[in-house]
Amino acid sequence: MSDTPVLEVSGLTVEYRRGRKRVPAVSDVSFSIREGETVGLVGESGSGKTTIGRAILGLVPVSAGSIVFDGHDVTGPAHHARRREEGQIRAVFQDPYSSLNPSLPVAASLAEECGTGGRSREATFARMVDLFEKVGLPSTVVSSYPGRLSGGQRQRVAIARALMSDPRLIICDEPVSALDVSVQAQVLNLLRQIQRVRSLSYCFVGHDLDVVRYMSDWIVVLYRGHVLEDGPARTVAQSPRHPYTRALVAASPHPVVSPEDIATRPPSSLNAAMVTTGCPFAPRCPVAIDVCWTERPPVCTAPDGGKVACHRYDPVKDTTPTAEPAAGGSPVEVPAPVAPRTR
């Protein structure tokens, strides 16, 4: 791993137009990815995680902020071409059933990656067969149509496709959430193995905190387009600092629990009113205080480099040892339960 970031996203804001209104999907998001590193974006539906990936790929216009790839600003549409050159940014999408054109044989879809590369037909084909071997597919698959492949096979094809042009960064947008559980592990292992061999960087987008933790070095937790917390993967997943991340961790279903662990929690997700000022998570937050409703929380930096956007976070009391699960105390002081305010 080198310390120069391959990708630097700062202050990224993406707005969608809905009629005359502009609805923010992503607000002021910053993170960077170094070579050979994986940054995980985790959040629930509406968190903007997929939009960030699409903005990096140049598939949605950026309203504010900048995306610097390999030292070059590629934010504007004028720079789309650059990131699409060989050796730059590629993607593996969520739905392997829609990411391959069903009317083209697999080889034709893959050959698109070399449309302008000037490689000969034979060289392209040889590369395809080579990559198919690497992703664990029989070379006969090149001539078949996507309709004949299983979900896991299609996702392997999609990975081979992304590798065709030797990119430095791959955006993995929920690459395993459409797959059977028993196939997910195969694909996750494959992605990691390829990363190790090629010192690739990944931006790994997911909703399952366990999967994202397993894949990532650094995790960014998103809620309604805002970064609530980021930090080393293990810290975020095992001793989270933000109340939302803690809710995520608590909700993550583990196969070995005794039913007694499940207390009936208050249905906080139903208080999910939009907040224009203040913390976006305030309506659902069990520890929200008045200031959470009125002021945007400051971004505090924790000792391990992680950042938390929470009024209730006190860096002085943060005793989270780096990359060690916190024993007992939580860095956010938990007062007597405060009923979530309804407005």
- Residue 81 or 291: the one with the smaller Cβ distance to another protein is 81
Q: What is the token pair recorded at 240?
A: 């989270």
- Is 322 a binding residue for another protein by CB under 8 A? The answer is no
The correct pick among 1, 123, 251, 291 for binding another protein (CB under 8 A) is: 251
Structure-token match 């006190």, residue found:
314
Residues 255-274 that bind another protein (CB under 8 A): 255-259, 262-265, 267-272
Residues 211-240 that bind another protein (CB under 8 A): 211, 213-215, 233-234
- Residue 253 or 337: the one with the smaller Cβ distance to another protein is 253
CB of 126 to another protein, least distance (A): 19
Residues 288-317 that bind another protein (CB under 8 A): none
CA atoms within 13 A on the CB side of 198: 21
The correct pick among 139, 143, 150, 294 for binding another protein (CB under 8 A) is: 150
Q: What is the token pair recorded at 183?
A: 């196939």
CB of 311 to another protein, least distance (A): 20
- Is 101 a binding residue for another protein by CB under 8 A? The answer is yes
CB of 98 to another protein, least distance (A): 4
- Is 115 a binding residue for another protein by CB under 8 A? The answer is yes
Per DSSP, which regions of the chain are E strands?
5-18, 21-34, 38-42, 64-69, 72-73, 89-92, 169-173, 201-206, 218-223, 226-232, 299-301, 307-309
- Residue 11 or 102: the one with the smaller Cβ distance to another protein is 102
The correct pick among 24, 30, 84, 134 for binding another protein (CB under 8 A) is: 84
How do beta strands 299-301 and 72-73 pair?
unpaired
- Is 324 a binding residue for another protein by CB under 8 A? The answer is no
Task: Render 290-327 in DSSP notation, one character per residue.
Answer: HHHHHSPPPEEEPTTS-EEE-TTB-GGG----TTS---
Q: How far is CA 17 from CA 35, 125, 288, in A?
A: 35, 42, 31
DSSP-derived secondary structure letter, 340? P
- Is 197 a binding residue for another protein by CB under 8 A? The answer is no
Question: For the purposes of burial, counting CB atoms within 10 Å of the CB of 215, is it exposed (0-12), middle (13-18) or buried (19 or more)?
Answer: buried
- Is 185 a binding residue for another protein by CB under 8 A? The answer is yes
Residues 118-147 that bind another protein (CB under 8 A): 147
Give the separation between CA 137 and CA 144, rounded to whole angstroms: 12
- Is 339 a binding residue for another protein by CB under 8 A? The answer is no
CB of 317 to another protein, least distance (A): 25
- Residue 27 or 184: the one with the smaller Cβ distance to another protein is 184
DSSP-derived secondary structure letter, 97? T
Residues 10-49 that bind another protein (CB under 8 A): 44-45
